[in-house]
């Protein structure tokens, strides 16, 4: 069990590392992001952050998400339909399966596919800077 103050300390450290000021709003948002496992969008993150720190505005959520993204702390995904969805950056790179019926997001990782991508790009005279692989799926019956 992580105590509230421990969590706050962790958020504070992360913000310090990113070289930006530690504010109530940013601690709240970062906390919410850390807990989330469902790739929420900005509005959803705003709702959750407000529950912790009512003064957080949607504008600040957007501004902070951009700063955190630049700092490599969060990843922004532009899945089909609706606005951008976010997740905290984790060690291993991964791609996503999206359940077209529920909107649920499942992460997966395939070295083989990554390799093939590099190969294909190389053959065409390119090198992959980053990529996007999303499988829009339905649960098998």
Residue list for the binding site for Fe cation: 93, 95, 114, 131
**Structure-token pair, residue 112:** 């083989």
Q: Per-residue contact track with a second copy, 67 to 106, x per CB under 8 A?
A: -----------x-x----------------x-xx-----x
3-state secondary structure 33-80: HHHCCCCCEHHHHHHHHHHHCCCCCHHHHHHHHHHHHHCCCEEEECCC
CB–CB of 45/60 below 8 Å? no
37-70 core/surface letters (b: 16 or more CB in 10 A; e: else): eebbbbebbbebbbeebeebeeebbeebbebbee
Minimum distance from residue 70 beta carbon to a second copy (Å): 15
The answer to whether 107 touches 93, Cβ cutoff 8 Å, is no
Among 6, 13, 24, 89, the residue binding DNA under the rule CB under 7 A is 24
Q: Is 18 helix (H, G, I), strand (E, B) or coil?
A: coil
State which residue, 72 or 125, has the beta carbon closest to a second copy.
125
Query: Which DSSP state fits 89?
Result: -
Among 11, 14, 26, 68, binds DNA (CB under 7 A): 26
The one of DNA, a second copy, none whose footprint includes residue 62, by CB under 5 to 8 A per kind, is DNA
Question: Between 82 and 121, how does the x/- string for binding to DNA read (CB under 7 A)?
Answer: xxx-------------------------------------
108 binds a second copy (CB under 8 A): yes
22 binds DNA, rule: CB under 7 A: yes
Q: Which does 17 bind (CB under 5 to 8 A by kind): a second copy, DNA, none?
A: none
């Amino acid at each position: 069990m992580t105590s509230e103050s421990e969590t706050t300390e962790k958020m504070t450290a992360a913000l310090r590392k990113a070289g930006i000021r530690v504010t109530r709003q940013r601690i709240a948002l970062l906390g919410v992001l850390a807990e989330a496992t469902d790739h929420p969008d900005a509005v959803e993150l705003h709702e959750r952050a407000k529950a912790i720190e009512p003064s957080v505005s949607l504008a600040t959520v957007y501004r902070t998400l951009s700063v955190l993204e630049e700092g490599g702390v969060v990843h922004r995904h532009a899945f089909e339909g609706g606005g951008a969805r976010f997740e905290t950056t984790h060690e291993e790179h991964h791609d996503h399966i999206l359940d077209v019926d529920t909107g649920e997001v499942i992460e997966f990782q395939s070295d083989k596919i990554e390799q093939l991508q590099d190969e294909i790009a190389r053959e065409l005279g390119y090198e992959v800077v980053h990529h996007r692989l999303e499988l829009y799926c339905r649960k098998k019956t």
